[in-house]
Amino acid sequence: MMSEDMKRLAAERAVADVTSGMKLGIGTGSTAEHFVRALGARVREGLQVIGVPTSERTRALAEAEGIPLTTLEETPALDLTVDGADEIDPALSLIKGGGGAHLREKIVAAASTRMIVIADSSKCVETLGKFPLPIEVVPFGLGATRIAIGKVFADLGLSGDLRMRGGAEHPFVTDGGHYILDAHLGAIPDPQALAAALVAVPGVVEHGLFIGLAAKAYVAGPDGVFEMTARA
Binding-site residue numbers for substrate are 28-31, 83-86, 96-99, 123
Binding-site residue numbers are 28-31, 83-86, 96-99, 123
79's enclosing H/E stretch is strand 78-83
Which is nearest to 100 in space by CA: 150, 35, 173? 173
List the catalytic residue out of 87, 105, 136, 206: 105
Active site residue 63: no
Query: How far apart, in whole angstroms, are the C-alpha atoms of residue 210 and residue 33?
Result: 20
Instruction: Answer whether 199's CB lies under 8 Å from 184's CB.
Output: no
b/e string for 43-61 if b means 16 or more Cβ within 10 A? beeebebebbbbbebbbeb
Beta sheet of 133-137, edge-to-edge order: 161-164, 179-184, 133-137, 204-207
- C-alpha dihedral over 97, 226, 11, 86, to 10 degrees? 10
Instruction: Answer whether 219's CB lies under 8 Å from 123's CB.
Output: yes
Query: How far apart, in whole angstroms, are the C-alpha atoms of residue 119 and residue 230?
Result: 15
> Which amino acid type is present at position 94?
L
What are the residue numbers of the active site?
Answer: 105
